Chain A
Amino acid sequence: MDAVKIIQNLLDFGPAVFLPLIMFFIAIFVRIKPGKALSSALTLGVAFTGMSLVIGFMTSTIAPAGQAMIKNTGLALTAIDIGWTPVAAIAWAWPFAALMFPLQIAINLFMFYFGWTDILNIDMWNVWHKAFVGAAVMIFTGSPIAALVMCSIWVVMELKSGDFIKYQVRNLTGIPGVTVTHPNMLAIIWMAPLNRLLESIPFIANMKSSPQELRNKLGFLAENHVLGFFLGILIGAAAGYTAKDVLILAIKAAACLTLFPMVAQLFMQALAPISEAAAIFMRQKFPGRNFIIGLDWPILAGNPTLWTACILNIPVILLCAIFVPGNITLPFGSILITSLAMAATVITQGDLVRTWLIMVIATPLSFVGASWFAPIITKMALDTGAFVLPQGTTQVTWLAHNALFERWSILQVAQMIGGQYWPGVLVLPVFIIMYWYYVKEVKRRDAIAQAKVEAK
C-alpha cells in the first residue's frame, strides 16, 4: 500500500472533498456522534463549494471592471482585495491545516503547565491563521520544517500577546477572566512605539472626540451592502462604464460583500462541535488552577471607536489605492481594514484620535504589503485548489492582512532556515529589538489598565 499515493489521490479531489473526510475522522476521534460528525464534515464541503461560488461571482464581476479601469485611467490595480473570509478558506485548504489544531492546543497546554502563560486559548476558529502562516512559509521556502517552526513561534507569540494585554482588554470590555488571542493583536508590536510617540504630542494627546455620537451618525455607511454598493459605483465610474452598467456592477458588488460573511458562517457551523470539544478538553485539564480564557476579537467589537475609526479611514484607503507608488491592490473585500482598528483600539484604550491616526499611517503600508503578498496569496489559492481564478488575468490579495508586518518578518526569517540569509539577517535583529520594546511598553500599559480595573 502506497500511503503517499493514496493521500495524493485524495488531495486531487480538491479541498471540498478531502477536508470533509479529514474533518469526519477528527470529529470521530474527539468522540462526536457519527451523525453529527457526518453533518459537520458535509457542512465543511458545502462551505468550500459556497465560497468558490461567491469568489467566482466576485472575480467575474470585479476583474473585467478592473481591466476596463486600466484602459480608462491607466491605474493598474490588478490584484483584487478579497478580504479575510476567502483568505481563511484558502488557509483551511492547505493540506496540513488540520494539524494546526493539535499544535496550538499542545503548545498552549505545555506553556500553561510550566506557568509560562496564564491563558487557555479556546478560540479554535483562528487556527486558520496558523494554517495561513504555514502555507505561506511552505510556498516561500518550500520547507515543511520551516513551516512547523514558524507556526509554533506564531502560536507562542499569540499566547504571550494575550497575556500582555489582558487588563487592557478587561478595562475596555469590563469582562473578567478573558483576553484576546487573535493574531491581530500582534500588530501592537509596531503600534506600541507609534502610540507612545503620538501620546507625547500634547496637541494630539489632549484632543477630545465623541466616537459614540459619530458612530450613530455614520454607522449606516459601514453596513456590508451599503459599502459594496458605493465601492461598485466608484470602480464602475473609474472603469468608464455607462450609468446602467455602473448600477449593475454596484448591486453585484453589494451582493459580494453581503454574501461573503454568510458563506463564511458555514465554516464555523462545521467547526463548532470540534471547537466545543476542544474547549471542554482544555478547561478540564487543570482543575483548581486559575486561568484566563483566550477568545476571538469580537468581545472588543462593541467599542464605538473601532467602527468610527474604520469609517473615517475609508477616504484614506481610496486615496492610497490611487497614490501609493507601485500599488496594484484594488480595495474591495477589506475596505474597512478592521484589523488595524482592533489592535489600535486596545493599545490606545479606545482613544478615537490616536486609533484613527495609527490607521492613517498604516494604511499606505498595508497597500505596499498587500501588493507584496499578492503573488503569494494567489499561488496559495491556486496550489490548494481553494478556488479557480481567471487564467493569467487577475491576482488576489488581502488588504486587511492581519499582523502584516509580523507575518512578513516571519517569512523573511523563515527563508534563513532554507539558507537564504538576505534580508532575514537584517529583519531578525530589528524584529527582536522591536519585540523587546513592545514587551516593556505593553506591560507598562497593562499595569496602568490593571490599576484602573482594580479601582472600579
Chain B
Amino acid sequence: MKRVVIACGSGVATSTMVAELLKNALAKRGIQVEVKIADFKSLSSQVIGADLLVSIAPYEKAEYGIPVVNGIPLLIGIGSDTTVDEVVAILNRK
C-alpha cells in the first residue's frame, strides 16, 4: 500500500483533520492508502519510506526527496478536488 505522510505543527489536530479528509476523498475513488501523521520538527525521520508528503505549511523548504503536495485546499475545502487529483496522479506514477 502507498504511504502518505501528513505533517502539521504538533502532529495532532490539523494533520489528523487533513488525514481524515484525504482518506475519505480517496476512498470515494476506491483508493486505499496508509496515512501517517507527523509533526514538522521530526519530519526528516518520519518521511522515510513514504511515497508522498502532504504539507500544511506550503513554504517548508527542506528537501525530503519525495513529492510534496500542498494540503491547504483540503483543509479549507476550496479546490480540494484538484489536490486529490494531484495526489492520485503522484501515487499512480510511482
Contacts and interface: CB of A to CB of B under 8 A. Distances in A.
Interface of A: 84-85, 122, 125-126, 173-175, 177-178, 212, 216, 219, 222-224, 261, 264-265, 267-269, 272-273, 275-276, 279-280, 283, 293, 295-303, 307, 338, 342
Interface in B2-56: 8-17, 20-21, 37, 39-42, 44-45, 55-56
A261 B57 contact: no
Given A302-B60, A303-B57, A125 B17 contact: yes
A85 B13 CA distance: 10
B9 A338 contact: yes
27 contacts: A84-B10, A85-B12, A122-B77, A173-B57, A173-B59, A177-B76, A178-B76, A216-B62, A219-B41, A222-B41, A261-B11, A265-B11, A265-B16, A265-B37, A272-B20, A280-B77, A295-B75, A298-B10, A298-B14, A298-B56, A299-B56, A301-B9, A301-B57, A302-B40, A302-B60, A303-B59, A342-B9
A174 B20 contact: no
A261 B59 contact: no
B10 A261 contact: yes
Nearest to A172: B59
A2 to B, nearest CB: 38
Contacts of A212: 61
A298 B54 CA distance: 13
Given A269-B20, A298-B14, A301-B9, A307 B57 contact: no
A267 B40 CA distance: 20
Contact of B12 (A178, A222, A265): A265
Contact of B58 (A84, A122, A174, A296): A174
Contacts of A296: 8-9, 13-14
Contacts of A295: 14, 75-76
A375 B72 CA distance: 39
A178 B58 CA distance: 13
B16 A272 contact: yes
A227 to B, nearest CB: 9
Contacts of A261: 10-12, 39
Contacts of B13: 125-126, 264, 267-268, 296, 298
Given A177-B78, A293-B78, A298-B56, 19 more contacts: A84-B10, A212-B61, A219-B44, A264-B12, A269-B16, A269-B20, A276-B77, A283-B78, A295-B14, A298-B8, A298-B15, A298-B57, A300-B9, A301-B8, A301-B56, A302-B60, A307-B40, A338-B10, A342-B9
Chain A at the B interface: SS class: helix
Most chain B beta-carbon contacts within 10 A, residue among A222, A223, A275, A299: A299
**9 pairs of A and B residues whose beta carbons are closest in the complex:** A302-B57, A298-B9, A302-B60, A301-B9, A268-B16, A298-B8, A272-B20, A222-B41, A223-B42
Contacts of A264: 12-13
Contacts of A269: 16, 20
A264 B39 CA distance: 13
Contacts of A223: 41-42, 45
Contacts of B58: 173-175, 302
B80 to A, nearest CB: 11
A269 B45 CA distance: 24
A364 B64 CA distance: 37
Contacts of B40: 298, 301-302, 307
B76 to A, nearest CB: 5
Interface string B57-94: 11111100000000010011110000000000000000
B10 A299 contact: no
B20 A297 contact: no
Most chain A beta-carbon contacts within 10 A, residue among B10, B13, B21, B45: B13
Contacts of A178: 72, 76
A296 B12 CA distance: 11
A272 B61 CA distance: 28
A175 B57 CA distance: 9
Nearest to B11: A261
A174 B56 CA distance: 12
A83 to B, nearest CB: 10
B48 to A, nearest CB: 13
Contacts of B39: 224, 261, 301
Nearest to A265: B16
Nearest to A266: B16
A87 to B, nearest CB: 12
A296 B72 CA distance: 11
A268 B75 CA distance: 13
Contacts of A272: 16-17, 20-21
